[in-house]
Amino acid sequence: MSMLRLLQFKRHSVLPGFGLTLGVTVLYLSLVVLIPLSALFLKTATITWSQFWSTVTDPRAIASYRLTFGTAFVGASVNAVFGFVVAWTLVRYRFPGRRILDAAVDLPFALPTAVSGIALTALYAKTGWIGHWFDARGIQTAFSPLGVAIAQTFIGLPFVVRTLQPAIQDLDAGMEEAAHTLGAGSFQTFRRVILPFLFPALLTGASMAFARALGEYGSVVFISGNMPMRTEISSLLIVAKLEQYDYAGATSIAIVLLLASFALMLSINLLQWWFTNAGDGR
Amino acid sequence: MEIANRMGNREPRWLRILLIAIAVLFLGVFLFLPLVTVFMEAFRKGAGAYFASFSDPAARAAILLTLISAGIAVPCNLVFGVAASWAIAKFEFKGKNILITLIDLPFAVSPVISGLIYVLLFGMQGWFGPWLAAHHLQIIFAVPGIVLATIFVTFPFVARELIPLMQAQDTDEEQAAISLGASGFQTFWRVTLPNVKWALLYGVILCNARAMGEYGAVSVVSGHIRGKTNTMPLHVEILYNEYNFVAAFSVASLLALLALATLAAKTVLERRVKAGSPGGHVAEEQLA
């Protein structure tokens, strides 16, 4: 295995167990993650290019990307705005219930996606507390693209808040002070000093929320209604193809989705690098 | 803390109140309402109907299967996480960063694809499908597939918590123990483990929450055979699709309670992890 050659022992240490622990790590990683994932790419090799291309550019597939990426973008944008307010409030102000709110931000991580899915659907369906209100105004929430965006907003929220919180904590009091002393108003200080400083963290958090929303399945499938061409997300299209035993088709769509999330992960890592190098070496 | 308060006072009072109101309203609508809905719907027809949902043998089988798959996945990933963090934190070797990136890989793979890869390997038309069929072994649409998919999606949790913490701690104490004649295992058990126990527990709790709650990956490999290959989230789905809402939300409420317990434990442990780590290491969130 070429991995082992990469992982050559460099420095001697008095501590024992290097061979054993590294061996267990590489073996388990290969068996559980690397070999299964490579099966996906090997499967692609059995599909001809024209077959792959016609699957991934099929109108139903294109409609699913448009929906998934579009609503994920809406969700990430909503989270960027409200997540910012939430993070700012939680870090900078003291008010009753702050600790509970802070802990609750992680709820979308902790709540199983199927549970959030049915809860959101019950809430936003025509008979639900919120859906009822929208329905009276002629807006359909559940079983429409808006419903997909709502679910994707729900699961993306913690990413923005948790990425912004440490950055807001790091805001240099002196910097703000200086801006004020020089006569900048609150809004100017915010726009010229605070926002540029927090921007990398905001963008990182929003990208993470976007990436998570792209692949999200459980919380979306219940509220979306799953109508092909209209409210069918890409993950669901993979499942639909699998249910028809169209392994090649499912794999093709999966590759598109996987490459998109790898590209995003790479950009997030670059962003984080920028982030850590932008704020005075921290 | 004090600086935060002082700086907070710079914004006019009305603006602070407005921002707090927006934050509370947003979290209220987006987080609390869905959570409250789960319990409201579960108790819609009273406590009797709620508890009756759990006497259904299919519900019990689903709870049991969830416990079994988490009971296998969590210990596997715990052993792996400890081994990986020992190798990565205590030794220097080439390719370490690649290894750390690869460990995080499952977080970047969407749940449905995590299930799909096992179907491609072990499904009827998969690479090992014919061989498995010839030996009357079934992985996909059976319990082993569910366990494998669960292991995959919860793979990085423990390692991710332990690696940064153990890297931040130096190896002086371990080296002293070894030079005094302790065995490698004794050193780990008596010296390393007490230093990382809270982070370890934190990782295990997050790993367990995800293992019990995973839906997408498991739904692809399960086949949805009632009473046999349904975990709790899949059972919730089936009940919901049958318009049996009270039962669906009753089972869902158990998962919601698990989520609340996880959040509570997380909040407590986060403080311990922060307090017990050198240089004020901040436990990283489970991101991407």
Structural domain including B66 reads: 47-280
> Whose structure tokens read 């940064």?
B164
The pLDDT score that the predictor gives to residue B125 is: 84
Whether A41 is in a domain gets the answer no
Whether A29 is in a domain gets the answer no
Distance CA B119, CA B114 (A): 9
The pLDDT score that the predictor gives to residue A93 is: 92
Whether A81 is in a domain gets the answer yes
Whether B255 is in a domain gets the answer yes
Whether B288 is in a domain gets the answer no
Burial of B276 (0-12, 13-18, 19+ CB in 10 A): middle
**CB A163 to CB B287 under 8 A?**
yes
CATH of the domain at A228: 1.10.3720.10
Counting the structural domains of chain B, the total is 2
Q: Name, in order, each residue with C-beta under 8 angstroms of A202's C-beta and a sequence gap of 6 or more.
A: A80, A84, A160, A163, A164
Q: What was the ipTM of the complex prediction?
A: 0.88
Query: 3-state class of A126 per DSSP?
Result: coil
For chain B, report the end-to-end CA distance as a whole number of angstroms.
Answer: 29
B141 and B36 in a common domain: no
Whether B86 is in a domain gets the answer yes
Backbone angles phi and psi of B39, in degrees to 5: -75, -35
Q: Are A220 and A13 in contact (CB under 8 A)?
A: no
Query: 3-state class of A232 per DSSP?
Result: coil
| Structure-block tokens of residue A100 | 């509970």
- By percentage, how much of chain B surpasses pLDDT 90? 70
Whether B285 is in a domain gets the answer no
B16 and B149 in a common domain: no
Burial of B1 (0-12, 13-18, 19+ CB in 10 A): exposed
B27 and B132 in a common domain: no
B79 and B36 in a common domain: no
Choose, out of B91, B151, B221, B239, the residue to mutate when testing the contact with A (most A CBs < 10 Å): B91
CATH of the domain at B189: 1.10.3720.10
Tens of pLDDT along A153-203? 999 999 999 999 999 998 877 777 777 777 777 778 888 888 888 998 999
Whether B90 is in a domain gets the answer yes
Chain B residues lying within 8 Å of A28, measured CB to CB: 76, 80, 83
Among residues 116-135 of chain A, which lie with CB inside 8 Å of chain B? 116-120, 122-123, 128-130
Tens of pLDDT along A201-230? 999 999 999 999 999 999 999 999 888 999
Structural domain including A144 reads: 49-278
Chain B residues lying within 8 Å of A114, measured CB to CB: 213, 215, 233-234, 236-237, 252, 255
B172 and B109 in a common domain: yes
Torsion angle defined by CA atoms of residues B269, A22, B155 and B209, in that order, rounded to the nearest 10 degrees: -30
Question: DSSP string of B158-209?
Answer: HHHHHHHHHHHS-SHHHHHHHHTT--HHHHIIIIIHHHHHHHHHHHHHHHHH
Tens of pLDDT along A35-73? 999 989 888 888 899 999 999 999 999 999 999 999 999
Query: 3-state class of A46 per DSSP?
Result: coil
Counting the structural domains of chain A, the total is 1
Note the pTM of the prediction, 2 decimals: 0.89
B139 and B4 in a common domain: no
Choose, out of B10, B120, B190, the residue to mutate when testing the contact with A (most A CBs < 10 Å): B120
Whether A16 is in a domain gets the answer no
Among chain B residues, the shortest Cα distance to A153 is held by B30
